[in-house]
């Protein structure tokens, strides 16, 4: 596989495109918005400069990486010669099903269709296509160029050939692939999201404050980032969407999102992306100031 298409130029999409391009693949980055594409390329350039500053990349390699990326606003034009398409659009089931139906229609017959979904059923996504054996999950972690893990999720009909191909390709990206079966939340979010939700529950019940909860988890459990800060980093809307998928999938009340999380998302307090969540990010992105709502 040489020709990769990445759908979505947001945080995950531009990170995935960056990773493939830096590994020598030809990448077509697709988004409906030219503005989003320009922003995505700017982010990739900035991240490459950071790697150069650390002495882990040359200017020549940066130029080569950027030259490996071509942008498109029309999916049909981008996938003509695709060997693999990685969908990294918003974590919305209806949108993903629509995109996969289009991918299936326009992509070459032998092209593998992958999704970066963090919770939605691969089997359900595959059902929107006529090539369920070639549909698979590639759940990268954020930030993609740095994080080593990729969950490789098999749908009900994913073929061994497809799985083996994506598993081995992930290694060429410098990643560590882990085989996972198709259940809501997979492994990463099935464990992570209940922890985040319970942290919000702890705050909601007045057991401790934002900084106190995060400090306990950082110093007591050796987490590099507290769960409330991590929720802000992921995006509270994304956390809510994942919890809803898990709750709908398992019908188990332990996955029901806390009312505080629901209200914050409705109020537009989404974390880093909106400037405020459990912390205030208007002056610093380092979670140095607790949001006014939660400050003492």
Of 99, 107, 117, whose CA–CA distance to 16 is shortest?
117
Query: Which pair of structure tokens corresponds to residue 229?
Result: 């800060």
Asked if 223 is an active-site residue, the reply is no
Please identify which of the residues 118, 119, 199, 244 carries the catalytic annotation: 118
How many other β-carbons are positioned within 10 Å of the β-carbon of residue 46? 9
Asked if 139 is an active-site residue, the reply is yes
Separation in Å, CA 263 to CA 1, 93, 272, 277: 45, 22, 17, 11
Please identify which of the residues 14, 189, 197, 274 carries the catalytic annotation: 189
Query: Which pair of structure tokens corresponds to residue 43?
Result: 């982010």
Residue 207 burial (C-beta neighbours within 10 Å; 0-12, 13-18, 19+): exposed
Residue owning tokens 């009340």 = 253
Name the E strands within the chain.
Answer: 3-7, 26-30, 69-72, 84-87, 112-115, 135-140, 149-154, 176-181
Asked if 151 is an active-site residue, the reply is yes
DSSP 95-116: HHHHHHHHHHHHS-TT-EEEE-
Of 124, 115, 125, whose CA–CA distance to 151 is shortest?
115
* Phi, psi at 279, each rounded to 5°: -120, 165
Asked if residues 243 and 256 have their Cβ atoms less than 8 Å apart, the reply is: yes
| Residue count of the chain | 296
Please identify which of the residues 68, 119, 121, 139 carries the catalytic annotation: 139
Q: Alpha-carbon distance 79 to 129, whole Å?
A: 15
Please identify which of the residues 91, 151, 211, 276 carries the catalytic annotation: 151
Asked if 26 is an active-site residue, the reply is no
Q: Alpha-carbon distance 83 to 81, whole Å?
A: 7
- Residues serving a catalytic function are 118, 139, 151, 189
């Amino acid at each position: 596989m040489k020709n990769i298409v990445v759908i979505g130029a947001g945080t995950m999409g531009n990170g995935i495109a960056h990773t493939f391009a830096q590994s020598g693949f030809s990448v077509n980055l697709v988004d409906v918005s030219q503005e989003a594409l320009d922003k995505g390329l700017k982010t990739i350039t900035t991240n490459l400069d950071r790697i150069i500053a650390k002495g882990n990349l040359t200017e020549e390699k940066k130029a080569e990486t950027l030259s490996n990326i071509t942008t498109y606003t029309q999916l049909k034009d981008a996938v003509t010669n695709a060997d693999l398409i990685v969908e990294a659009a918003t974590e919305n089931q209806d949108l993903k099903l629509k995109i996969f139906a289009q991918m299936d229609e326009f992509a070459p017959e032998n092209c593998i269709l992958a999704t970066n979904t963090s919770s939605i059923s691969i089997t359900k996504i595959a059902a929107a296509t006529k090539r369920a054996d070639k549909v698979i999950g590639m759940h990268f972690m954020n930030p993609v160029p740095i994080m080593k893990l990729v969950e490789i999720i098999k749908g009900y009909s994913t073929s061994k050939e497809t799985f083996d191909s994506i598993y081995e390709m992930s290694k060429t990206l410098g990643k560590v692939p882990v085989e996972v079966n198709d259940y809501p939340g997979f492994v990463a979010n099935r464990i992570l999201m209940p922890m985040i939700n319970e942290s919000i529950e702890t705050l909601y019940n007045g057991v401790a404050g934002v900084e106190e909860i995060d400090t306990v988890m950082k110093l007591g459990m050796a987490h590099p980032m507290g769960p409330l800060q991590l929720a802000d980093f992921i995006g509270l809307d994304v956390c809510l969407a994942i919890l809803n998928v898990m709750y709908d999938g398992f019908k188990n009340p332990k996955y029901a999102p806390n009312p505080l999380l629901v209200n914050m998302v409705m109020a537009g307090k989404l974390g880093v992306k909106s400037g405020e969540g459990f912390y205030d990010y208007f002056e610093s992105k380092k979670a140095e100031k607790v949001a006014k709502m939660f400050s003492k």
